[in-house]
Structure 1
Amino acid sequence: MPARSGAQFLRGLRDRRALWVGGERVSDPMEHPALRGAAQSIAAVYDLHQQYPDDCLMADPETGEPIAVSHMIPRSKQDLLRRHAALRRVAEYSVGLMGRTPDYMNVTYAGFAGRSDEWGANGNEEGAANLVAFQKQLARQDLSLTHTLIHAMSDKSKGNVPAGFDETQLHTVEKTAHGILVRGARVLATLAPFADEIAVYPSQPMPGASRRHALSFCIRMDTPGLKFICRDSVSLPDNRFDHPLSGRFDEQDAFVIFDDVEVPRDRVFIDGNVAVYNSVMSASWRANAMHQTMVRAWTKLEFAWGLACRMAEAIGASDPATLQMLGEIWSYAELTRSAVRAGEEGAYHHGNGAWFLDGRPMDALRTVLPYWFPRVNEIIRLIGSHNVLATPAAGAFADAGLRPLIDKYLRGAGDTSAAERARIFRLGWDFAGSALASRNEQYERFYLTSGARNRQNVQMRADRREADRLVDGFLRAVK
């Protein structure tokens, strides 16, 4: 089937999934006020593909039907530039606030299928073939896919991955006539209420773990025994004046319990193959998946800079301190843009016919974005000062007695009206200070691992040859 519309996507969410928001089980996101806004936003993302087919759609290489460009297995640098345009379209819809729009997993699984040789190593040919077949299904049925990567460790002193066998962690229980039975828990499944299927794949090596924990698969969200417990919602009523972001972009996060879940055999990609589990994410994943994440980050930072500039202008703030803070956000946005472009320009054949970005600029961004995004929020709140708290609601503007007073006393600098000033500062607060903003800041701090751990990781795998050559040149010169 060709790429879906938003209405088709929404119809696909009406299933028997076991999903809880607060103490309430929810079967249809469109019927729950905490979920309706984000469901409509993901539907709008699907509709974007129909509105901008030149950017967002391509012909399936085998069937010729239109599929999302984010499902492309890049075969050249030009393919990556084409994918960039599609990723940018999606990122702009939520100005980067929704980090797990379906294109994230589309890009990820296209990369996995493109490097199926990595998945088929060490005798895992059947698992690799299953993955390739699923990636085609993902593209042709235009599914919305979430994932859960992190082992749900309750005791940090035991480490971040299982050591030996841990019955609370996701593991194989037994073989069945149709596949495998799995049990345990994982975190987090962002986008869980708005996904058709859920994916499990490695997040990091676990050299001391039992082979029963070495698992990768995809299953439907309504698979019996699969349970999702959502965090508290930060969604607010979809009032574009009062809550311009919180009414639409709470993508939700869920704790996942696998309570004796049967995974069909043709959906199993790794089953006990520790060698593949520990190696498959180490080679090309970053250079591929980071394309989506960093285009999103760049878009979000550009929006933040524009928003901060608009806030400063609305109150006539052009003092050196404000200009320095605005320039700081600009530098983050420009460095992110430059890194994305450098990654694309340095793209190369990563093997098996697949082309991915030069991963080094992406790795560098992973180390700094967890610090940049909280700083951006701080700057917006500093520029906003008390003004983010002096923003009448739409209802106050509609009051005939209040409106003249608001227009007189709460107007902005120059020709900025009171209503425009309120809209700007409400947008600033929703971006940097609301409950949604707090969730998003926490998300950015630990998105794709914390900045501190990423710094350790890049130091351990960085290519030191050029740096060592420069140092050695001086050391050899010393008599």
Structure 2
Amino acid sequence: MAARTGQQFLRGLRDRRELWVGAEKVRSMVEHPALAGAAHALAEVFDLQHRHADDCLMPDPETGEPINVSHMIPGCHADIHRRHRGLERTAEYSVGLMGRTPDYMNVTFAGFAGRHDEWAINGNEQGADNLVRYQKKLRRDDISLTHTIVHSTVNLAKGKYPVGFDPVQLHKVEETAHGIIVRGSRVLATLAPFADELAVYPGGPMPDAAPEHALSFCIPMDTPGLKFICRDSVSVNTNRFEHPLSSRFDEQDAFVIFDDVEVPRERLFIDANLAIYNSVMKTSWWPNIMQQTMIRAQTKLEFAYGLTARMAEAINLAQPQAQQMLGEIAMFAEFARAAVYAAEQAARPYGNGLWCCDVRPLIALRAALPTWFPRVNEIIRLIGSHNLLTTPSRAALADEALRPLIDRYLLGSDIDAERRSRLFRLAWDFAGTALGSRNEQYERFYLGSSARNLGMAHILADRTRANRLVDRFLLEELDEPAALRPAVAAS
């Protein structure tokens, strides 16, 4: 099939998946009022790859057909930079608000296939072969893939991962003639209404878990027994004037129940094999996927900076405190850009011919983002002040009696009343609406909490030079130079 168009993507969503929004079992992801805006936004992402084919498409290495560049298995520096252009185009479409556009999973599985040798240890050669075949299908059919990798939270006193056998968590039940039966639950399937298939793979090692929990596979969203329970929608309606972001960028999040789901044997990548499950994410996953995640974050920060600066200009807000806050967002955006640049410039082989970014600057950025994004939202609210709440609707602007008064009394210092309303509505939708709150919560835990990431930054830090600088003083001889010794009086 090769790279799909938006219409082809929308046709693919007309399946029989069991997906619930509130009390309603959704019959059509494309037409449901809580989902239609994001469905058509994702369709625009698929169309975008054709409009910007030079950046977004590349020939399949085996068939030559056009595929999205996010499916690339990088093998050199040039590949890393080539992939950057395509990832940036996708991030710009939603200004970084959609964290799970299909390129996220495309990059993930390209990395898995690039290190298929890591999946083939401990007798798992068939699982590794299945994974490589699936990655080819993923790229050639241009599948929209989501994942669910987090264990359901029941009792954190027992830890984040299963200890022994836990019937609540996803697990293998039995073998069948064609595969295995799985049962249990997982979170958080972001993009569930708009994905064609669902991936399960390790979110982290489970050293004390029973082998039945060690699973990895991909299955269609309408597989019998698979159930998705979505959170409340934050997509108010499809009015892009009044809700420019929430009308189209609510990618949704779902709790996943596996109610005796059969996984075909050819779709199994890990089958109750703890040794594989606990090892495959340790080397190349972070340095590979964080190129996509941090390009998205950088894009979102640059949008937030531009948006906040435009608000300040619209009301001629030039006090030193406002300038400092604007500089704060500019600093965040520049640090993000510099971290991505440094990581890509220092990219290197990570085994089996796969090239990934230098993980060090990305680990530092990962630790900072959960605090930066809430601060950005706070600054937008402070700069915007009451102006965020004085935004006439399209209906008010269209009223013949109201419009002249609005034009007179709600204009900005350099823009008319309508553009002012659009600007401050855009800022409120970014930072203050239900979408803004969901995205702030998402950013706090998107790649782990700030506390966890700071701890990992310390654990993973290369202390070679730091130790050398300290050891210079701890290991030197302490005898004072002769010139500094007190003079001895002559006898």
Please state which band the TM-score falls in when normalised by the shorter chain.
over 0.9
Match of 1:212 in 2: 212
Distance 1:97 1:4 in 2: 22
TM-align CA RMSD: 0.8
1:110-130 superposed Cα distances (whole Å, 9 cap, x missing partner): 000001111112221111110
Distance 2:460 2:298 in 1: 25
Match of 2:120 in 1: 120
Q: TM-score of the superposition, structure 1-length normalised?
A: 0.99
Counterparts of residues 446-461 of structure 1 (less than 5 Å): 446-461=445-460
1:127-157 superposed Cα distances (whole Å, 9 cap, x missing partner): 1110000000000000000000100021111
Match of 2:483 in 1: none
Q: In 2, are the aligned partners of 1:314 and 1:416 still within 8 Å (CA)? A: yes
How many angstroms does 1:334 deviate by?
0.4
How many angstroms does 1:460 deviate by?
1.7
Distance 1:213 1:182 in 2: 9
Match of 1:437 in 2: 436
Larger-Rg structure = 2
Q: Quick one: which amino acid aligns to residue 476 of structure 1?
A: L
- Partner of 1:342, secondary structure, is helix
How many angstroms does 1:477 deviate by?
2.7
How many angstroms does 1:241 deviate by?
1.5
Structure 1 residue runs of 5 or longer lacking an equivalent are: none
Distance 2:122 2:84 in 1: 34
Counterparts of residues 26-175 of structure 1 (less than 5 Å): 26-175=26-175
Q: In 2, are the aligned partners of 1:150 and 1:203 still within 8 Å (CA)? A: yes
Q: TM-score of the superposition, structure 2-length normalised?
A: 0.97
- Partner of 2:405, secondary structure, is helix
Match of 1:296 in 2: 296
Relative to structure 1, the CA distance from residue 466 to residue 177 in structure 2 (aligned partners, 3 Å threshold; closer, same or farther) is same
Match of 2:418 in 1: 419
Matched, 1:467 2:469: no
Match of 1:309 in 2: 309
Match of 2:7 in 1: 7
Paired positions, count: 478
Distance 2:2 2:161 in 1: 40
1:403-423 superposed Cα distances (whole Å, 9 cap, x missing partner): 11111111111x311111111
Distance 1:314 1:401 in 2: 25
- Partner of 2:278, secondary structure, is helix
Distance 1:361 1:201 in 2: 25
Matched, 1:256 2:278: no
Matched, 1:22 2:19: no
Distance 2:423 2:474 in 1: 57
How many angstroms does 1:475 deviate by?
1.1
Distance 2:283 2:387 in 1: 48
Match of 2:482 in 1: none
How many angstroms does 1:49 deviate by?
0.8
- Partner of 2:166, secondary structure, is coil
How many angstroms does 1:2 deviate by?
1.6
Match of 1:380 in 2: 380
Structure 2 residue runs of 5 or longer lacking an equivalent are: 479-491
Counterparts of residues 323-402 of structure 1 (less than 5 Å): 323-402=323-402
Percent identity among equivalent residues? 67
Distance 2:163 2:121 in 1: 24
Relative to structure 1, the CA distance from residue 452 to residue 401 in structure 2 (aligned partners, 3 Å threshold; closer, same or farther) is same
Q: In 2, are the aligned partners of 1:231 and 1:253 still within 8 Å (CA)? A: yes
- Partner of 1:279, secondary structure, is coil
1:219-243 superposed Cα distances (whole Å, 9 cap, x missing partner): 0000000000000000021222111
Distance 1:28 1:74 in 2: 37
Q: In 2, are the aligned partners of 1:153 and 1:169 still within 8 Å (CA)? A: no
How many angstroms does 1:478 deviate by?
5.9
Distance 2:464 2:76 in 1: 28
Matched, 1:272 2:272: yes
- Partner of 1:34, secondary structure, is coil
- Partner of 1:32, secondary structure, is coil
Distance 1:424 1:34 in 2: 24
- Partner of 1:217, secondary structure, is strand
Q: In 2, are the aligned partners of 1:179 and 1:263 still within 8 Å (CA)? A: yes
How many angstroms does 1:448 deviate by?
1.4
- Partner of 1:163, secondary structure, is coil
1:228-259 superposed Cα distances (whole Å, 9 cap, x missing partner): 00000000212221111010000000000000
- Partner of 1:218, secondary structure, is strand
Distance 1:72 1:27 in 2: 35
Q: Quick one: which amino acid aligns to residue 286 of structure 1?
A: W
Distance 1:113 1:129 in 2: 9
- Partner of 1:30, secondary structure, is coil
1:242-278 superposed Cα distances (whole Å, 9 cap, x missing partner): 1110100000000000000000001101111111111
Q: Quick one: which amino acid aligns to residue 115 of structure 2?
A: R
- Partner of 1:33, secondary structure, is coil
Q: Quick one: which amino acid aligns to residue 426 of structure 2?
A: L
